[in-house]
Amino acid sequence: MLHRFATAAAVCMLIPMGATPLALADPADPAAPPVADAGAPPPPPDNGAVVSGVPGIAKTPDGRTLTVVAKDETQLPVAPLTTSLSSRDWVVGGTFTGTTTGSVSGGTLEAGYQVGCGVEMDKVKLIGSVGASLGNASLNTTGVSLPGSISFPVQGQIEIDPRPGTITNVVVDKKSFKGTSSRVTLKDIHIKIDNCVGASSLRSYAVLTSSGTDADDIVAYYGVTKVF
């Protein structure tokens, strides 16, 4: 009888232990940011690559086709050598190609950049006065004793006269050709403007001129505008 009771007690003790659920690890948070790989290489430096614009295509009255395109364009803003806050400087590059069809050959291909400035600084004026202070002078038996220091205080404020911004065409190259095609390639060219206190923008352009005996046909290409 004692043996049966001991067996039953052992079974009763095993049942609750077997029914206890196993503890599982918490699932990973899907919103947690991935851990950066310490051995991963750093991102490549910015080379200023920009997407080129739509090619310029023109049909002439005599049935010819003029085309001007660009590729491999770069526009990288850099710190100006003047270190002035009103100066802007970019390192630019790209390849501009102009082609013509038909019997007329020869012309020019001009490549450059258009720089826009939102607000220009026109004049800087100092409004106020400049004085002189001799400090404390004293009179004694030997004469007048002058102070040990003389100061020139300046009182007033600096006034900057802004004016509406302008667009400046910067011609980098103008190539004359005698055939039916021409190319201009630019690499690491500096474009700089001064007296710009507002936002600035930059875009490339190329103008193809096909010159005949009695007529000129012109078509232009404009790149994508970037605001800095």
User: Are 181 and 104 part of one and the same domain?
Assistant: yes
Pairing of strands 143-145, 154-164: unpaired
Answer for the pair 198, 159: CB distance below 8 angstroms, yes or no. Answer: no
Same domain, 94 and 67: yes
Note whether 114 and 172 are same-domain residues. yes
39 confidence band (pLDDT: 50, 70, 90):
confident
Same domain, 113 and 129: no
Query: 83 and 157 in one domain?
Result: no
CATH number of 93's domain? 2.60.40.1650
Indicate whether 5 pLDDT > 60: no
184/200 same-domain check: yes
Mean pLDDT computed over 67-95: 95
In this structure, is residue 207 part of a structural domain?
Answer: yes
80 within some domain? yes
| DSSP H stretches of helix in the chain | 2-19
Residues 181 and 216 in one domain: yes
0.85 exceeded by the pTM?
no
Q: Is the pLDDT of residue 12 over 50?
A: no
Residue pair 211/106 in contact by the 8 Å Cβ criterion: yes
Question: Which residues, in sequence order, are CB contacts of 110 under 8 Å at separation 6+?
Answer: 171, 173, 174, 175, 206, 207, 209
> What's the CA gap between 150 and 136, in Å, rounded?
10
Q: Are residues 109 and 169 in the same domain?
A: yes
Per-residue pLDDT tens digits for 95-145 = 999 999 998 889 999 999 999 999 887 666 656 665 656 556 555 555 555
31 within some domain: no
**Cα–Cα distance list, 118 to 52, 115, 124, 159, 206 (Å):** 23, 10, 18, 19, 23
CA dist 82 and 206 (Å) reads 29
Q: Quick check: is 10 in a domain?
A: no
Query: What CA–CA distances, in Å, run from 200 to 87, 114, 116?
Result: 10, 11, 5
**Residue 173 and residue 146 share a domain:** no
Residues 223 and 141 grouped into a single domain:
no
Domain membership of residue 212 as a residue range: 56-118+165-227
Whether 25 maps to a domain, the answer reads no
Q: What are phi and psi of 62, to 5 degrees?
A: -90, 15
Q: Is residue 191 located within the same domain as residue 219?
A: yes
The answer to whether residue 44 is domain-embedded is no
* Residue 188 domain-assigned (yes or no): yes
Total tally of structural domains belonging to the chain: 2
Query: pLDDT of 146-194, one tens digit each?
Result: 555 666 565 666 666 678 888 999 999 999 999 999 999 999 999 999 9
| Phi and psi angles of residue 216, each rounded to the nearest 5 degrees, phi first | -120, 135
Q: How far is CA 26 from CA 31, 33, 34, in A?
A: 14, 17, 17
d(CA 204, CA 54): 12
The answer as to whether 18 is a domain residue is no
